A = this chain, B = another copy of it.
Amino acid sequence: MKEKRVLNHGRIRLVEQMGGDGAVVRAARRCWRSVSKGDASDHRLLVHLLKHNHGTPFEHAVFTFDIKCPLFVARQWFRHRVASYNEVSLRYCVAEKEYYVPDDLEPEGRITYDRTIRQAFEVYDRFLAEGVRKEIARAVLPLALYTEFYWTINVRSLMNFLHLRLAPGAQHEIRVYAQALLEILEETMPVTAKCFQENALNPQVPSREDGP
């Protein structure tokens, strides 16, 4: 299975895939009761669909990913509603003590950052030891904490995600996940990925749909 390492402890793993470039072409050609007419013609068809915003044929290609990312990234991620999510619950699981460390802190800032997060982890552990329920104790945990979830999404919705999260205005920490997803798309649906990058991916678009 394809797996990409992202940030200091994150990952994107391709778990399952359905459809692919062929499924998009097949669905689009159903409209005219026609079938694939060779690579060059199929390529032109995909370019046409992407340029003219005919998204439905791309819904027949579907991926399931296994994602690990910081909570503040997951908060942006879960804004994308046309997708399926199943995430580790801190009501039932004890948090693993893995957290994101940004590259751009000064040495002293980094020490403060680590100490603050580790103190929160210690308080969390002490609360659990004293019998505080996990769902309450987690309130002290920081947004830097990593979470894990399965994510099933069709390629139409994935391209929308990439369009918004690869934009220069998107936060760096989610852009690197979007970049890894684009690489997996290139490896698994090369024709769609190429047409998408040449025709629909607009690098000038800033993204503002965000959560704390």
Contact = CB atoms under 8 A, between A and B. Distances in A.
Interface of A: 16-19, 23, 26-28, 30-33, 52-54, 56-57, 59-60, 62, 64, 70-72, 74-75, 78-79, 81-82, 84-93, 95, 99-100, 102, 104-106, 109, 112-113, 116-117, 119-120, 123, 126-127, 130, 132, 135-136, 138-145, 147-150, 152, 154, 163-164, 171, 173, 205-212
A202 to B, nearest CB: 8
A155 B113 CA distance: 43
A30 B120 contact: no
B74 A211 contact: yes
Nearest to A60: B152
Contacts of A102: 136, 139
A138 B212 contact: yes
A208 B48 CA distance: 11
Secondary structure of the A contact surface, majority rule: mixed
A60 to B, nearest CB: 5
Given A23-B16, A123-B113, A212-B71, A56 B31 contact: no
Contact of A150 (B26, B84, B90): B26
A171 B92 CA distance: 11
Given A30-B86, A31-B87, A33-B93, 11 more contacts: A27-B86, A31-B209, A75-B75, A75-B78, A81-B81, A81-B82, A91-B208, A91-B210, A116-B140, A138-B143, A145-B212
Contacts of A64: 18-19, 23, 60
Contacts of A152: 19, 59-60, 62, 154
